[in-house]
Structure 1
Amino acid sequence: MASTLQRLFQRHFSQLADTERLPPHWYRAANKLSRCRTAALGGHVQACPQGHVERVWYNSCKHRSCPQCKGLQMARWLQQQRERLLHCPHHHIIFTIPHELNSLWQLNTAAMMELLFQCASQCLQELLNDERRLAGAEPGYVLSLHTWGRSLSLHPHLHCLLTDGGISDAGWQHPKGSCLLPARVLMAKFRGKLLALLRRAIERQTLRLPDDVSPERMHSCLNHLFRKKWNVRIETRYDHGQGLVQYLARYVRGGPLHDGQIRLTNQQVNFTYTPHRDSATAYRSVCAAHTPERFLKLVLQHVPEPGKHTVRSYGLYAPRKTARLNLARTVFRQAPITKIEPLTWQAYYAQHVTRPTAHVCTVCGAHISHVRNIAPHHDPPRPRPLGGQHV
């Protein structure tokens, strides 16, 4: 059975594409999400040896923004990150850009994304290398980009998972002061560095400006932003990173929404969400009504461009620093990193989805096994007398 978001794409994306010029990766995402777990992608058949039960399983699209595929992708990402985490306290830092820069983000998503990662990583490296903090000891941290607020509004921000300390030739170095990073200093550095990068990009004409905004007006806007306080938040230190990485997994591979938040009426989409804690309606469910085309645009604006990594690892957690990470793991009596075999879909379904008796015939008790593959098909399959189970 098609999910709610999938039905929206199947019924209304063509209308949106006919009325507006859309980025190419929006078309690819809409094509994948609308065909996920349908006959269009093919699949396979499982049956009882005696012919009592027959089930059809259609293939998944595996798109990173698909709500139907997110369970397995989330579990695989979480498995990989947990295997690499050091058993030490971690910090959670959130870098948020002001909403005045949203128009630049919409016109230059890929470039703005690179500038945001570059700025945040440089700020952390420069501050942590200071003699008053880690004095050159190498920490590990992961930056994860999220672009949505709870209402699906554009809200670009980075979540950072940072070790409380770092490895040096002398061993594991703890922060020298009472806190690893001072919030005000980090905010000021992030603000100044990102604004400097934006000014340089505008002067080099590598960023596209809105049609009604001149370079002089944009520079004036950046000067105004320099006098504002930015939202850079450092949460209370966690004793370990397991819970935080599980929190990040819901966003990294979970996408901006799930089907339970959507209700379809005649020509309207009702989207239910819980506002942020600083809202007047915080912690109370709010229902927003949108036209189908408007709602699809809200969803698609958060689809990353192909080839753009929304999660990036630095320092000890960088893929090329495995030897250095293994040295730090010896301090915490952890085994060296080995090759991690990705979680199979069979194992995932056995743990989270499938009932113990799901692969046993309810009539004769025989094991239900693979019978044949189904080639990709653009037309719906003909109904079978026994009925198919679409999972």
Structure 2
Amino acid sequence: MEATLQSIFRDGLETYQEHHGLSMDQSRAAQAILLCQTEALGYEEWICFDDGHREQQNHSCRHRSCPRCHGAMTHDWLERTQARLLPCDHYQVVFTLPHELDALWQYNRQWCGDHLFKASAETLRQLLADDKYLGAEVGLLSALHTWGRTLSFHPHVHVLVTGGGLAGEQWRPVKNGYLLPVGVLKAKFRGKWLSWLNDAYAAGELKLPPDWTPERWRQVLRTISRKRWNVRIQGGYRHGHGVVNYLSRYLRGGPIKDHRIVSATPEQVSFRYRDHHDGCEKTMQLSPMQFIARVLWHVPVKGQHGVRYYGLYTAGAANKRQRIKDQLGVVAEAATATQAPARQCPLCGRPLFHRLSVRGQISYLRNTARATVRGHVQQGAQAAPLPQESPAQSSERFFIALPGAA
């Protein structure tokens, strides 16, 4: 049988839950991955009226972490975003947080994600609005990633930046293919993040990891304040379409797609990755529990957008974008809606007609069940403390019923 994320979860998630528990976000993601494209979620049925042939397609879960059903939604996002891009060179800027903050991130995921977006966007917009560098309003497209190629925890944000901006009513391109001095960019980004981090801690908005004392907190602050933070500027890329296409691969589907999984046994999961040091494709082996833990590290916070737009790329800046296109001599193209090809009968070739839609009988855990589930975890000794490899994403842990479980 082909190894997939769904099959690995089906075989190992129950054991993982018994030892580590799941946060609410992890529970939703695991439930969705397990049930995606199964009859439990319902199905659509088509029929050929000429020869009676019938086809059935199970519903998809549509969860951001599921690698089985992301294709159509990713394609739609890619088309909309590429149509929004301005006809100019673009630069890609990658902002990475120091690894000393990884544990803090796991206990403050919403705050850290939002402020990584905010710090990177404000840094770029403020510097490029300065006449010393560009003196114009630019467009930014930001995408948050939390994983490395081996599924390790590596929070960073990719920002696609227009190679020019709107100064008053006129388009102003960057000079000599030079966006910004990277040293200034690093210093401003680091200053913003540390200022907000200190303010949030003082206001009681941050939750420290259980093994962090106030002295450990001060030590981490001293360490990261002395480091040179990792910020890279890449580009320019013609029109930015290539970068958007790259980012679309990480928009949905979680940190690993099924085609990268080589094999899975009760003892070991093997998957492919490309080593960025030498560019070679390699294989990594992990135990099923380690593999599941790494996948669950990267479940997004419910309601938190993984892609955000700023400046000229916001929805409200459509008139500005059209003004720039007019100045650059670009003819506006009419939007064309792409439609999926009609289903055809494999026997006679005639169109298939949609016959019915069946809704699944699975009911997801609701908020009203939290107290009961929390009590079960507190009473049962099976919920062991989380290992260091898999820090909790919230203080609340609970269990879900797996398909086929008693």
| Identical-pair percentage | 38
Query: What is the aligned residue count?
Result: 361
Which residue, 343, 346, 357 being the options, matches 1:361? 346
Pairwise CA distance, 1:92: 0.7
Query: Which residue in 2 is equivalent to 1:321?
Result: 317
Query: Which residue in 2 is equivalent to 1:372?
Result: 356
8 Å contact kept, 1:132–1:177: no
8 Å contact kept, 1:41–1:376: yes
1:187 is the counterpart of 2:186: yes
Pairwise CA distance, 1:159: 0.4
Pairwise CA distance, 1:28: 0.7
Pairwise CA distance, 1:322: 2.0
Which residue, 284, 291, 295 being the options, matches 2:291? 295
1:5 is the counterpart of 2:5: yes
Query: Which residue in 2 is equivalent to 1:28?
Result: 28
Query: Which residue in 1 is equivalent to 2:304?
Result: 308
Query: Which residue in 1 is equivalent to 2:195?
Result: 196
Query: Which residue in 2 is equivalent to 1:121?
Result: 121
> What letter is aligned with 1:361?
P
8 Å contact kept, 2:182–2:232: yes
Is 364-373 or 179-188 further displaced after alignment? 364-373
Pairwise CA distance, 1:321: 1.9
Partner Cα distance (1:334, 1:311) in 2: 27
TM-score (norm 1): 0.86
Pairwise CA distance, 1:11: 2.8
8 Å contact kept, 1:199–1:219: no
Pairwise CA distance, 1:239: 2.1
Partner Cα distance (1:324, 1:216) in 2: 50
Q: Note the alpha carbon deviations across 1:73-103, whole angstroms, 9 max, x for none.
A: 1101101101111001111111011111101
Structure 1 residues 197 and 177 mapped into 2: Cα distance closer, same or farther (>3 Å)? farther
> What letter is aligned with 1:295?
F
Query: Which residue in 2 is equivalent to 1:227?
Result: 226
Pairwise CA distance, 1:192: 2.1
1:154 is the counterpart of 2:144: no
8 Å contact kept, 2:121–2:140: no
> What letter is aligned with 1:106?
Q
Pairwise CA distance, 1:190: 1.3
8 Å contact kept, 2:41–2:359: yes
8 Å contact kept, 1:86–1:332: no
Q: Note the alpha carbon deviations across 1:298-322, whole angstroms, 9 max, x for none.
A: 1121111111011110001011222
Pairwise CA distance, 1:3: 6.9
Structure 1 residues 330 and 89 mapped into 2: Cα distance closer, same or farther (>3 Å)? same
8 Å contact kept, 1:48–1:369: yes
8 Å contact kept, 2:43–2:58: yes
Partner Cα distance (2:333, 2:213) in 1: 52
> What letter is aligned with 1:304?
P
**Aligned positions of 1:32-47 closer than 5 A:** 32-47=32-47
Partner Cα distance (1:236, 1:32) in 2: 38
Task: Tell me how large the CA RMSD over aligned residues is.
Answer: 2.3
Query: Which residue in 2 is equivalent to 1:217?
Result: 216
**Aligned positions of 1:327-346 closer than 5 A:** 327-334=323-330
Partner Cα distance (2:253, 2:34) in 1: 17
The answer for unaligned runs of 5 or more in structure 1 is 351-355, 379-391
Pairwise CA distance, 1:365: 3.6
Query: Which residue in 1 is equivalent to 2:140?
Result: 141
The answer for unaligned runs of 5 or more in structure 2 is 363-406
Q: Note the alpha carbon deviations across 1:328-387, whole angstroms, 9 max, x for none.
A: 22222345698x68755xx2xx4xxxxx9x72333x343333233334246xxxxxxxxx
Is 369-378 or 253-262 further displaced after alignment? 369-378
Structure 1 residues 104 and 341 mapped into 2: Cα distance closer, same or farther (>3 Å)? farther
Partner Cα distance (1:341, 1:254) in 2: 26
Is 264-273 or 298-307 further displaced after alignment? 264-273
